[in-house]
Amino acid sequence: MVEDCSGKMSSDEDLSPISAPSESGIIIAVEDVFSDEDFVEDVSAVSGGSHSEEGSCSYGFSSCQGKRATMEDFYDARIPNINGQRVGFFGVFDGHGGSRAAEYLKHHLFENLINHPNFFTDTKQAISESYQQTDADFLKVESSIYRDDGSTASTALLVGDQLYVANVGDSRAVISKAGEAIPLSEDHKPNRDDERERIEQAGGNVLWAGTWRVGGVLAVSRAFGNRLLKQYVVAEPEIQEAVIDEDMEFLVLASDGLWDVVSNEVYFHDLILLCTEMQFLLLNQ
C-alpha cells in the first residue's frame, strides 16, 4: 500500500466541507521482490509488508494520517491458506464522515467473503453479495447512531492465478503489466454518465457544490454506509477479473489521496524504478 503524507488539499473530498485528506495504499508484487527487512514502522506513518509462505507473492503497505485530527483510512492484507488453496486478500478502505465504516470493513468484509458458500465456485458472485451483505450488516449495527459515516473500498482477491478486483467509490486499483500502467477500476463519481442516470432513476439528484455531489453532499456515487443517502449511494461493486501471468508485475491499491495528486503513469514510472533498484540491491547483498 502507498500513502501520501503531504496532507494536500483535495478539490473533491468525499464529504463537504473540504478538508485535508489522509491516504492509504498497498503494493502487491506477484513475485517476491521484497524482504522482511525492507519494511519498517515509525510513529508518523505505519508501513510494513509480508509475503506468502512459498514466496511467490509479496506485499507492502503504508498508511499516513496527514493533517486531519483523526485517521479515517484503514487497510487489510492477508495471505491465508483456505482448504489447501493459497488466497490473498488486500483492501483499502477510505472513510468519510468518521472512521467506523472503514474500520468495520477491515474487520468484516474478508470474513464475510470467505464464509460465502460460493467463494470458490462462483467467486464474482460471492464478492458482490459479500460487499452488499457487509454494507447491510454495518447499517444495522449503526442504526441507533446519529452520525452517518461511510467508506469506499478497493479490494484485490488472489485465488491461485486468478485476480479479482472489486471497487466501490473512488479508491483505485492499477496494475503494472509489461511496464504499462493499466487501471482495473473506474472511480464512482456522481458525474459519470451511467452513475448520474442510476442516481436520478432512483429519485436522487447530482448537484455542484465545489465538485459534483450526490444531493450536493457526497462526492462519490457508491459507498458503504451513508444511511441517509443509501437509496442512491449503493455498495454494489464493479468487478474486474484478470489472470496472473509473466507480464504482470505488481498491483497498486490506493485511496484518492494518492491518485488526486499523481497520475497512474507518473506514479508507476517512479515505482518501477524503485522496484528495479531494490531488486538490484537484494541480488548484490
Instruction: Return the pLDDT at 66.
Output: 64
Q: Please give the Cα distance from 172 to 36 (Å, whole number).
A: 26
Pick the CATH number of 23-187+236-283 from 3.40.605.10, 3.50.50.60, 3.60.40.10, 3.40.50.800: 3.60.40.10
Q: What pLDDT score does 40 carry?
A: 39
Query: Which of the two residues, 7 and 273, has the higher pLDDT score?
Result: 273
Neighbours of 237 (CB within 10 A): 24
CA dist 153 and 166 (Å) reads: 8
CA–CA separation, 76 and 69 (whole Å): 22
The band of 15, judged by pLDDT with boundaries at 50, 70 and 90, is: low
pLDDT-derived band at 48 (thresholds 50, 70, 90) equals confident
**Max mean pLDDT range (34-38, 123-127, 140-144, 268-272):** 123-127
* Residues 272-285: tens digit of each pLDDT: 555 555 554 545 65
pLDDT at 39 over 70: no
For residue 214, is pLDDT > 80?
yes
Distance of alpha carbon 87 from its chain centroid, rounded?
17
pLDDT tens for each residue of 73-87: 899 999 998 988 889
Residue 235's pLDDT is what? 98
The mean pLDDT of 229-234, rounded to a whole number, is 97
CA distances from 45 to 69, 92, 175 (A): 15, 16, 24
Among 14-18, 45-49, 50-54, 130-134, name the most confident range.
130-134
Q: Cα–Cα distances in Å, from 175 out to 33, 144, 244?
A: 16, 40, 11
* pLDDT score, position 59: 81
pLDDT at position 32, please? Answer: 35
Domain ranges of the chain: 23-187+236-283
Q: What is the DSSP string of 41-83?
A: --SSEEEEEEE-TTSS-EEEEEEE-TTSSS--EEEEEE--EET
112-137 mean pLDDT: 97
Residue-averaged pLDDT of the chain: 79
* Per-residue confidence band for 13, with pLDDT thresholds at 50, 70 and 90: low
Please give the model's pTM, rounded to 2 decimal places: 0.79
